[in-house]
Structures are given as C-alpha cells and as structure tokens.
Amino acid sequence: MAGPMNPLPTSADDPRLRGWYHTIELAPGITTSDAVYDLRPIASRSGLPESLVGKTVLDVGTADGFWAFEMERRGADRVVAFDIARMGESNVLPRYRATLPDWWATSENYCAERFWTAHAMRQSRVEYRTGSVYDLSPETIGTFDLVYCGSLLVHLFNPLEALIAIRSVTRAMAVIEACSTDPAYNPVDEAFPDQPLMKFGSLDGDGGEPGRQCMYWYFTEKALYDMLVYAGFGAVEPRGQYRITGPGGGNCPVVSAVAHVGQGACPSAEGPVSTTGYVRLKAELEDARAEIAALKTRLHPFEGLGARSVGTARRLQRISGRFPRIASAVRKVAGRKSAGD
Ligand SMILES: C[S@@+](CC[C@H](N)C(=O)[O-])C[C@H]1O[C@@H](n2cnc3c(N)ncnc32)[C@H](O)[C@@H]1O
C-alpha cells in the first residue's frame, strides 16, 4: 500500500511539491505549487457547511485529499477519504484499456502517495478507504452524516448508479459537484433553463481519440438536481454554476447541489426545492406558455384591426402578466435569479 514520500518535503522549493492535482497547504509555509486545481477560493461555493463539528463525513474520489482535509479543518469528528485502489477500477473505454500494459490495471492509484504525504505533513486523522463509488453501501463502508463528491461524475460510465450508491451511505446530506456544460461555449442552461439536459463527451475536442480523457458527462443545473431526486434524495438545494481553476491549467465549469435525505431542515434561506412544489410550479408555467402561444395564434389575423382584437389582446395581456410571476417562482425554487435580472 502507498505511503508518504520518503523523506517528507521540508522546504517550499522541493520539486516534489509540483504536479499535484490539488493545491494543499502541507505545513506552514509549504504548499503544493502548480497544482491542476486550487479549490481554496471556491471552498464554500458548493454548499459545504462552515462547521462540521460533531459530524461524520465521507469524501468520494478524494484524489490528493483537498476536500477531506478541508472537512477535517471544519471540525468534522470523523473524515473518511475514499478513492479507487487501482487504476483498473476507473471507467476507461475498452479500446484504450486494450492499449495499456498489463501492470496498469493493478497499479496503485497514483494520487495515493500524494494523499499520504499531505496526511503525514498535516498530521491528519483522516482515514483512507479504497473501492469504487459503485460499491459504496452501508455494509461496505457504513453511513455518514455528510457525503462530499466533487468532479467525479464526469469520469463515470454511469453517474446515476453512483449517486444511488452515494445516497445509500448518506444519513443527512450530500454535497455533489459535477462538471457542467460551459456557459461560454455551450449555453444550454440559458437556452433550456427548465430542461434536465446533459451533454455527452466532446468528440470534436478529442483530437481523434474519442473518450481517451475519460470525460463523459456534463450536467446542466436541472439535470444534476433531477438526478439527485431520482437517486433518492428528498430535497435538493441548488448551488448554481461556477468555475474551478488552478495554477496548473485546470479550468472547468461546474454545478453543485446540496441534497438532503428526506424533506429535512435545509440551511439555505431559500429553502429546499421540494419535488412536488417544483413539479406543480413547472406545470403551471407550461400551461401559461401554452395559453400564450394559443392566444398569439388567435390574435395574429387581427393585428392592426383595432377594436375586433381588443378582447383577445386583453386576455393575452392578463396572462402575460401572470407568466413572468410563475416563471420567476420556478426560477426561485431552482435557485436561479428572478425574471428580469
Ligand atoms: C477529477 S478527480 C476529483 C478529485 C476531487 N474529488 C475534487 O473534487 O477535486 C476524480 C477522482 O475520482 C477518482 N475515481 C475515479 N473513478 C472512481 C470510482 N469508480 N470510484 C471512486 N473514485 C473514483 C479518481 O481516482 C480521482 O481521484
């Protein structure tokens, strides 16, 4: 089993501090230097509670361990960091697996040494467990007050199955952050704000090697929220879209949500999106849209004829006045800005 670097780095210019996945402060004055992602600036953006005192927490797909150490820093009683033991457990397409040497499948997760180095240098009490997210269950790992899962779903053949497994080990809440469609290049959320759409892969960006990077699924906000409901969470608190970046070149739009077990208390001022409330408002919105479309069709031949269209025009005006209110209510529960923003 992997252990920490030996000897441990003792100075800020140790070359072994380069090339990490996460920017992590390993000891006072010693921080990994050109990591792919520096998540410190967005550490509270995903909905992780400021205090985790008294809580047991699980970090799924921990990599170098940034989130596990962050949850320890926030006072959690017990933190378990979880990742695959061997590279062969990752969802690599068969065509690429076939090109890799035999030893690759059984080789140890290359993040583990970095995790254990950070663990030793931070004098951490975080526990490390290995396995695949698909195999998480109360029997295999127990249950946790809070489960965190960041930037993993994009790499999985089956994100819904993973969320179902995560739900099975969540006692109160899960914070899920997933890669999202890029508002700059592919503004799906803007065009279809109420649709649970997902973008698949990126053939044109794969340079002739479809799926080589193991990047499969990009979520719209609604897709993540709805999938969490499918996975068995009772209430979903949207956290919206933002971007994660880092000095090593990481730059990824993400969407996150806090998913609650049952309809339990929700810490946000807006309150949870209750599935039934959302569905009701959305149905009202669809009705209003259909009514407007029908009235517009009826109004069309009368346009410019004045008095004959007045009755229909008044009805259209009345319904149109109602439409923004319903639309804004739907946006509000979905955590979006109100209409007109
Ligand atoms: C993109 S990194 C995300 C790291 C971290 N969670 C974050 O938010 O920055 C994905 C991590 O998930 C792990 N992983 C990949 N497939 C997995 C699986 N089937 N089960 C558990 N972890 C997996 C990888 O080894 C890697 O550490």
Pick the closest to residue 172 from 259, 46, 45 (CA basis).
259
pTM of the predicted structure, to 2 decimals? 0.81
Q: 232 C-alpha vs ligand 1 centroid, how far in Å?
A: 22
User: Angle at the Cα of 136 (from 274 to 37), degrees rounded to 5?
Assistant: 80
Same structural domain, 254 and 290? no
The answer to whether residue 6 sits within a structural domain is no
Domain, as residue range, for 241 = 15-271
Which residue, of 227, 248, 271, is where some domain finishes?
A: 271
Cα–Cα distances in Å, from 293 out to 193, 297, 329? 19, 6, 20
144 membership: H or E segment, kind and range:
strand 144-150
Q: 27 C-alpha vs ligand 1 centroid, how far in Å?
A: 24
249 alpha carbon, distance to own chain's centre:
20
Same structural domain, 238 and 313? no
Task: Report which ligand 1 atom has the smallest distance to the Cα of 148.
Answer: 6
**What's the number of CA atoms in the CB half-sphere (13 Å) around residue 20?**
31
The answer to whether residue 211 sits within a structural domain is yes
Pocket test for ligand 1, best of 126, 152, 242 (most atoms within 8 A of CB): 152
The answer to whether residue 254 sits within a structural domain is yes
- What residues line ligand 1, using a CB cutoff of 6 Å? 37, 61-63, 66-67, 83-84, 89-90, 109, 111, 132-133, 150-152, 155
Which residue, of 222, 238, 271, is where some domain finishes?
A: 271
| Beta-carbon count within 10 A of 25 CB | 15
Q: 53 C-alpha vs ligand 1 centroid, how far in Å?
A: 25
Same structural domain, 262 and 279? no
The answer to whether residue 143 sits within a structural domain is yes
Same structural domain, 196 and 311? no
Same structural domain, 130 and 94? yes
Atom 13 of ligand 1 has which residue's CA nearest to it? Answer: 61
Answer yes or no: are the C-beta atoms of 261 and 234 closer than 8 Å. yes
The answer to whether residue 234 sits within a structural domain is yes
Q: Please give the pLDDT value at position 334.
A: 55
Cα–Cα distances in Å, from 191 out to 57, 181, 303? 37, 12, 29
Which residue, of 230, 254, 271, is where some domain finishes?
A: 271
Atom 10 of ligand 1 has which residue's CA nearest to it? Answer: 152
Same structural domain, 149 and 170? yes
Atom 12 of ligand 1 has which residue's CA nearest to it? Answer: 61
Instruction: Give the list of residues 6+ apart from residue 269 with CB closer than 8 angstroms, or none.
Output: none
The answer to whether residue 339 sits within a structural domain is no
Same structural domain, 186 and 236? yes
Q: 331 C-alpha vs ligand 1 centroid, how far in Å?
A: 31
Atom 7 of ligand 1 has which residue's CA nearest to it? Answer: 150
Q: 259 C-alpha vs ligand 1 centroid, how far in Å?
A: 19
Q: Can you give the pLDDT of all 341 residues of the chain as single tens digits?
A: 789 999 999 999 999 999 999 999 999 999 999 999 999 999 999 999 999 999 999 999 999 999 999 999 999 999 999 999 999 999 999 999 999 999 999 999 999 999 999 999 999 999 999 999 999 999 999 999 999 999 999 999 999 999 999 999 999 999 999 999 998 888 999 899 889 999 999 887 788 899 999 999 999 999 999 999 999 999 999 999 999 999 999 999 999 999 999 864 444 434 445 454 555 556 666 777 788 888 888 877 766 555 455 566 666 666 666 666 665 665 665 554 333 33
Instruction: Give the list of residues 6+ apart from residue 70 with CB closer than 8 angstroms, or none.
Output: 39, 43, 48
Atom 15 of ligand 1 has which residue's CA nearest to it? Answer: 90
Domain tally, the chain: 2
Q: Please give the pLDDT value at position 253.
A: 96
Same structural domain, 251 and 305? no
Same structural domain, 100 and 55? yes
Same structural domain, 66 and 200? yes
CA dihedral 228, 229, 233, 236 (to 10 degrees): 80
What is the spatial distance between Cα 210 and Cα 212, in angstroms, rounded to a whole number? 6
Atom 22 of ligand 1 has which residue's CA nearest to it? Answer: 61
The answer to whether residue 22 sits within a structural domain is yes
Query: Domain containing 227 — which CATH number?
Result: 3.40.50.150
Same structural domain, 289 and 198? no
Same structural domain, 246 and 280? no
